[in-house]
């Protein structure tokens, strides 16, 4: 079985952050509020959780594709450039249908909704990916395996498809040349896709080639500026909450729907569908940008500085781990991934002003030092790493408990 030693998406991480930095600088010099710290941190945190869990999910999803290719392929395709090009078109075609069904089926929406939760639109939103996306969509690509497209082609073309979509998550770029807009996905097209305006919902599902939306009737040109986000806002900066909340909401709705048949229909119906006795299909409401208010919690500058410093440290440790993940055993991978996920969740609770946030943050310091010492005694880390983490965590603990957490005002 083929396994990619290096994920192109992981290799592109430095480029992602350079471009995000450039977009931040552009907004600063143009006096445009493109980024909010809490939103951007949450977007990237969701991406961190997805990348960490994806390492383990790939064992199943990629294995399933490889199993079909090895045992049930109809053709054996040679290594020619035109087959690889066709593989790219094929991946993009099936991405369109996987993406479209992720919007048009309640159950599949659970695996994609996280990407649409942000009420801002900038390059950090591209990194906001769902932990559960792959479990709902991996089998859409099985026809490629049956036709004989190699596993490594599928993985590489899928990565390039995802990388292409990074740059289209921006408001800085207006419209591209007309011919390019007709064939390819662009920032203008994708802004429509992220809009919660009724005319924009479930439109422009393309990954790279916009021709699929034009062919299958889901294309919508950008007209008025979209209002971003989902019709039922998440109202949390915690990446774990962002991933779990949609499941909780679906479960509650299922319990309220009468009859087993209606429950099954609701599970596979488009979002907004309800049985007649509950009012039938509920169309999304129009959005007035003049009165619409984004979810926001204002916190003291000192707490913002603290959270930003902690997040940069967590982000650096995550990148170091992902670049060297093959050096760790499965047990160590699981332990480190769990600590990182706990860390971004803890920072999210502070952004959310949760009463248990300080306790979570205090516990995080002990867990982090404990794991670092454990890995040191296992021979997996040099001694200087636990020492630095210990000093940094001690200083952070003093700072976090001295901050004035009572001067936090929720903006309604």
What are the DSSP calls for 107-131, one per residue?
A: HHHTTTGGGG--SS-SHHHHT---T
DSSP 411: E
Q: What are the domain boundaries of the chain? A: 8-216, 239-278, 296-411
Higher pLDDT, 206 or 407: 206
Distance between CA 300 and CA 106 in Å, rounded?
39
pLDDT in tens, 353-375: 888 888 898 898 888 888 888 88
Say whether pLDDT at 285 is over 90. no
Rounded to two decimals, the pTM is 0.91
Read off the pLDDT band of 40 (50, 70, 90): very high
Q: What is the pLDDT of residue 295?
A: 94
Rg, C-alpha atoms of the chain: 22
Q: What is the pLDDT of residue 163?
A: 95
Among 308, 316, 305, 303, CA closest to 388? 316
Q: What is the pLDDT of residue 408?
A: 42
Say whether pLDDT at 248 is over 80. yes
Q: 206, 315 in Cβ contact below 8 A?
A: no
pLDDT in tens, 1-22: 334 455 777 788 889 999 999 9
Read off the pLDDT band of 400 (50, 70, 90): low
Average pLDDT over residues 146-155: 95
pLDDT in tens, 310-334: 999 899 889 888 888 888 889 999 9
Q: What is the pLDDT of residue 403?
A: 61
Angle at 197 (CA atoms; ends 191, 198), nearest 5 degrees = 125
Angle at 288 (CA atoms; ends 285, 292), nearest 5 degrees = 100
Q: How many residues does the chain have?
A: 412
Q: What is the pLDDT of residue 51?
A: 92
Residues 6+ apart with CB under 8 A from 380: 327, 328, 332
DSSP 253: H
DSSP one-letter string for 215-250: HHT------SPPPBS-SS------HHHHHHHHHHHH
């Amino acid at each position: 079985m083929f396994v990619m030693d290096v994920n192109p998406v992981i290799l592109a991480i430095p480029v992602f952050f350079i471009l995000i930095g450039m977009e931040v600088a552009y907004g600063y010099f143009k006096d445009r509020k493109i980024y909010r710290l809490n939103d951007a941190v949450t977007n990237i945190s969701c991406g961190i959780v997805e990348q960490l869990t994806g390492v383990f999910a790939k064992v199943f999803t990629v294995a399933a594709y490889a199993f079909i290719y090895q045992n049930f392929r109809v053709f054996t395709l040679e290594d020619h450039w035109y087959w690889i090009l066709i593989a790219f078109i094929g991946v993009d075609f099936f991405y369109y249908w996987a993406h479209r069904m992720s919007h048009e089926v309640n159950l599949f929406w659970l695996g994609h909704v996280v990407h649409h939760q942000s009420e801002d639109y900038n390059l950090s939103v591209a990194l906001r990916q769902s932990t559960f996306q792959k479990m709902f969509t991996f089998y859409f690509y099985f026809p490629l395996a049956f036709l004989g497209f190699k596993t490594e082609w599928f993985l590489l073309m899928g990565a390039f498809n995802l990388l292409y979509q990074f740059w289209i998550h921006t408001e800085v770029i207006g419209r591209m040349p007309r011919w390019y807009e007709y064939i390819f996905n662009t920032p203008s097209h994708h802004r429509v896709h992220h809009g919660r305006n009724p005319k924009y919902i479930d439109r422009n599902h393309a990954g790279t080639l916009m021709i699929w939306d034009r062919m299958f009737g889901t294309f919508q040109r950008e007209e008025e500026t979209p209002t971003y986000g989902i019709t039922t806002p998440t109202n949390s900066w915690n990446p774990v909450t962002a991933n779990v909340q949609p499941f909780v909401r679906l479960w509650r709705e299922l319990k309220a729907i009468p009859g087993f048949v209606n429950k099954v229909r609701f599970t596979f119906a488009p979002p907004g569908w309800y049985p007649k006795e509950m009012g039938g299909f509920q169309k999304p409401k129009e959005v007035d940008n003049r009165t619409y208010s984004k979810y926001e919690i204002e916190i003291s500058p000192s707490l913002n500085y603290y959270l930003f410093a902690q997040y940069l440290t967590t982000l650096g440790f995550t990148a170091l781990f992902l670049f060297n993940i093959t050096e760790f055993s499965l047990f160590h991978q699981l332990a480190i991934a769990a600590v990182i996920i706990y860390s971004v969740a803890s920072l999210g609770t502070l952004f959310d002003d949760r009463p248990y946030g300080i306790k979570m943050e205090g516990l995080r310091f002990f867990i982090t030092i404990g794991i670092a010492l454990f890995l040191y005694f296992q021979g997996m880390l040099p001694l200087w790493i636990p020492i630095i983490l210990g000093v940094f965590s001690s200083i952070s603990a003093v700072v976090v408990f001295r901050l004035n957490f009572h001067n936090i005002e929720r903006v309604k």
